Amino acid sequence: MSSLLPLLVAVPIAGALLTLVVGYAADRLGWPLAFASSLLHVALTGYLVVRAYATPDPLRYTVGGFRPPFGIELVVDGFNAAVVGLVAVVAVGVLVYARRAGPHSVAFYTGYLLLVAGLSGMSITGDMFNLYVFLEITGLAAYALVATGDDGRSAVGALKYLLVGTVGASLFLAGIGYAFVATGTLNMADLATKLGEVGYGSTLVRTSFALVVVGLGVKTALYPLHTWQPDAYASAPDSVSGLISALVSTVSAYALARVIYSVYTVEFLSSVAYAREFVLVLAGVSIVAGSLLAVMQTDIKRMLAYSSVSQFGLVVAAFAIANEAAVTGGVVHLVGHAVMKGGLFLAAGAIAMRTGARTVGEFDGLGSRTPLLGAAFAVLSLSMVGVPPAVGFVGKWYIALGAIQSQLWPIAAVILLSTLLTLAYFLRLVERMYFRSGTGAAAGADSPTGTGTATVADGGDDEDPTLGRDDTPTLGRDDDDAFAADDERFGRPSVGMVAVVVVAALLAVVLGPLVSAFEPLLEPTLETLL
């Protein structure tokens, strides 16, 4: 069954080619073909993930019959199985959303499938140079996807992303070069033993570590290296922002963790002076600076983008702490953040489509104008802040626990501080949505505390009763007027778009309690990694 591993990459690539060729002949077939490829990819991934957690040994596949360490091998263990599954599920969700929200071009569907192929490849490869190639495939697809927006801004954002991203990937390649010069091998498992033989004190080995961390730090968008990220996320179409915010940085952060654990090993981290401190300081600065920048934003998508800088600081800090609790927290937060941030971007897109609200100020009274989407946005926000039992809380809890176990008090303090700052920038939105009257015609004459607000004011518990109401508003006369006003001025998100956002909100809540079931699955892998 491990012979199915290369199909994780091959299926989306074949789908991309098919979509490109058929899509140009018959425009209407673009989406169905992309969707079919994605469904096949999910089925395949689901099967392999179940297999990976059922067997104690990792699934391995030798590409082209060239045995490692000379050839390339693909590996799925308990660590990356979670990432592979995440990529497949989020990708399908975004495609469902993009059915109505667009972009509707064949270029988008092709780029989307190539991105999925690149991300899957990055997740499963066991070879350093292969990781670089998939990193660049992912990058190229992401640059092209950002540029699918209609206005010139998206092209400028994409070019900036391309220039900075290429420097990052090139530094990563230089790091691989240093490691290759030191050891003469590119296979991750082989590198781990040979780097130890060369000695962790070697300048070549240390330099390669620094270059690789900085290179992947650019792709993950850690603080001083994040400059491409807000422009790219803010200028991309909503579906694309959701997709790349949920997956591209996530898989890069996974790659960073994989390289730290499987190539340089935890022993390197603890034996080389300042190696762990270097990563921890990078992550800690990222947590604080990202949050502060997010508080200062007025544009919703830019705020969410800076929030990602902060959250990835948290994830990378967890991987640098490198004890069992912290790494569990890192994996949980990696997956949880992808679901929450992807959901938030998609919710923001759907809200903008419904009401035209794209800045913090325009969120006033939104809870009554679009109850269901507003509630989903609020639930996702609160989960991101870390309100139990949501997944955002569980991830942060484990990371803080790990920091305290390793007696890294500054990092523990930074994590708590970051929660306060996250509260600052998300709570002001929730407060505006539910406790302030809306502006303009859409809010109605005197209905700020009408029945619509009361129904949804208590967050996510009321989601199901209001499920149908977004389409057939029956919340009260004033709100009917509001809906009518919105209908005149703006479009309506499709049922699929709303459903994807609601599912993301539900997942953010449900995944939290499920972590205790996931922990024993992860444990055997962690034992071999740490």
Partner 1 sequence: MILDILLTRYNYVVVALLLPVGAYMMIENRNLVKKVIGMNVFQTGIFLFFITAAYREGASPPLVGDGGAGVTYVSPLPHVLILTAIVVGVSLTAVALALIVRIYAQYGTLDERRLREAYADE
**CA-to-CA distance for 392 and 386, rounded, in angstroms?**
5
In the list 29, 36, 155, 506, the residue contacting partner 1 (rule: CB under 8 A) is 155
Site size toward partner 1 (CB under 8 A) is 28
Q: Which is nearer to partner 1, 168 or 493 (CB)?
A: 168
On whether the CB atoms of residues 497 and 101 are closer than 8 A, the answer is: yes
With both helix axes pointing from N to C terminus, report the angle between 391-405 and 300-321 in degrees, rounded to the nearest 10.
Answer: 40
Q: How far is the CB of 66 from partner 1 (least distance, A)?
A: 12
Q: Which two tokens stand for residue 461?
A: 């518990």
On whether the CB atoms of residues 178 and 247 are closer than 8 A, the answer is: no
The DSSP code for 74 is E
Contact segment (CB under 8 A) with partner 1 among 79-87, 89-97, 131-139, 320-328 equals: 131-139
Contact segment (CB under 8 A) with partner 1 among 147-155, 399-407, 471-479, 499-507 equals: 147-155
Q: Is residue 389 reached through a cis peptide bond, with omega within 30 degrees of 0 on the bond before it?
A: yes
In the list 136, 299, 481, 519, the residue contacting partner 1 (rule: CB under 8 A) is 136
Contact segment (CB under 8 A) with partner 1 among 128-136, 265-273, 314-322, 350-358 equals: 128-136
Q: How many residues does the chain have?
A: 530
**CA-to-CA distance for 268 and 288, rounded, in angstroms?**
27
Residues 6+ positions from 413 with CB-CB distance below 8 Å: none
On whether the CB atoms of residues 452 and 476 are closer than 8 A, the answer is: yes
Q: How far is the CB of 67 from partner 1 (least distance, A)?
A: 15
Q: How far is the CB of 463 from partner 1 (least distance, A)?
A: 38
Q: How far is the CB of 12 from partner 1 (least distance, A)?
A: 18
Question: Of 310, 189, 204, 200, which is closest to residue 261 (Cα–Cα)?
Answer: 189
Q: Which is nearer to partner 1, 111 or 343 (CB)?
A: 111
- Contacts of partner 1 in 182-201 (CB under 8 A): 184, 186
Check binding of 170 to partner 1 (CB under 8 A): yes
Q: Which is nearer to partner 1, 186 or 321 (CB)?
A: 186
In the list 11, 162, 335, 515, the residue contacting partner 1 (rule: CB under 8 A) is 162
First to last CA, the chain: 27
Whole-Å CA distances, 415 to 162, 286, 291? 31, 11, 11
Contact segment (CB under 8 A) with partner 1 among 177-185, 311-319, 354-362, 519-527 equals: 177-185
In the list 174, 210, 285, 467, the residue contacting partner 1 (rule: CB under 8 A) is 174
What single letter denotes the amino acid at residue 325? A
The DSSP code for 445 is S
Q: Which is nearer to partner 1, 179 or 482 (CB)?
A: 179
Residues at the contact surface with partner 1, assessed by CB under 8 A: 129, 132-133, 136, 139-140, 143-144, 147, 151-153, 155-156, 158-159, 162-163, 166-167, 170, 173-174, 177, 180-181, 184, 186
